[in-house]
Amino acid sequence: MTKDAIKEEYLQLAATVREHVEEQLQLGLFEAEITETEQKSQYADLNLTALDADAQSCVKCGLHQGRNTVVFGVGNPDADLMFVGEAPGADEDRQGEPFVGRAGQLLTRIIEAMQLTRDDVYIANVLKCRPPDNRNPAPDEVETCSPYLLRQIELIQPKVIVTLGNFSAKMLLDTKTGITALRGKFYEYAYAKQDAHVPVVMPTYHPAYLLRNPNAKKDVWEDMQQVMTYLEQN
Ligand code: URA
Ligand code: URA
């Protein structure tokens, strides 16, 4: 085939694909995907303060009806280390700050054992509002709320994200694998933007799980030692 013939064939193919796409767009078949992409980047213009302010008045899912506060996140906006839990509990909902109840106090001790303070790191949850009776987050709530967390991660640019428990690990790694199989190893963050710095993710057990299963504390401590070594070297 001559160069011109190849080019001609390529142009025809491109035209066919474009027609096909336009037809599907008219039929609305691409709508779901486009909405998802838009939703993931809907806060792209907001800095951390503006994002927080946006979240404070959020009514995008049903959880706003039962909340006392929106629990956006706390800590150092330039943190190298970020902790991500599941959702606020009763104490967090009352105080507007993540991880301040019993599980939170254990997390604070873990952070201090790493020779850090809560002010050195950044702490947030997948959901910013408390699910009633501490039930699990519903899929539509995660879908609606997770763009806040993804934008927080994009702005803070941590080197390491420690996910606490099943929920945040599955979300940030985009996996169905459970925490027991995942924990103790580093993974690549699933939602890194092209050309952006890619955090590593260390899934570990949730401190609430540690309160019920103190024997698992040594596993978490091993995971945190790996994180400390990584932070020293990167
Ligand atoms: N559990 C979580 O996952 N997050 C909190 O903020 C408190 C308890
Ligand atoms: N099961 C959970 O749901 N969370 C943990 O952190 C560990 C086991």
**Residue whose C-alpha is closest to residue 173's, from 187, 186, 159, 183:** 187
| Predicted TM-score (pTM) of this structure | 0.84
Residue written as tokens 């280390």?
A: 81
SS (H, E, C) 96-131: CCCCCCHHHHHHHHHHHHCCCCCCCCEEEECCCCCC
| DSSP states of 138-193 | PHHHHHHHHHHHHHHHHHH--SEEEEEHHHHHHHHHT----HHHHTTS-EE-TTPP
CA of 87 to the centre of ligand 2 (A): 14
pLDDT tens digits for range 15-45: 666 665 555 555 555 544 444 444 446 899 9
* 75 DSSP assignment: E
- Ligand 1 pocket: which of 74, 92, 123, 134 to mutate (most atoms <8 Å of CB)? 92
* Residue 62 neighbours by CB distance under 10 Å: 14
Q: What are phi and psi of 88, to 5 degrees?
A: -65, 145
Q: Which atom of ligand 2 is nearest to the CA of 210?
A: 6
With bands split at pLDDT 50, 70 and 90, how would you rate the model's confidence at 213?
very high
Q: How is residue 35 written in tokens?
A: 């909405």
Give residue 176 CA to ligand 2 midpoint distance, Å. 14
pLDDT-derived band at 10, boundaries 50, 70, 90: low
Ligand nearest to the CA of 126: 1
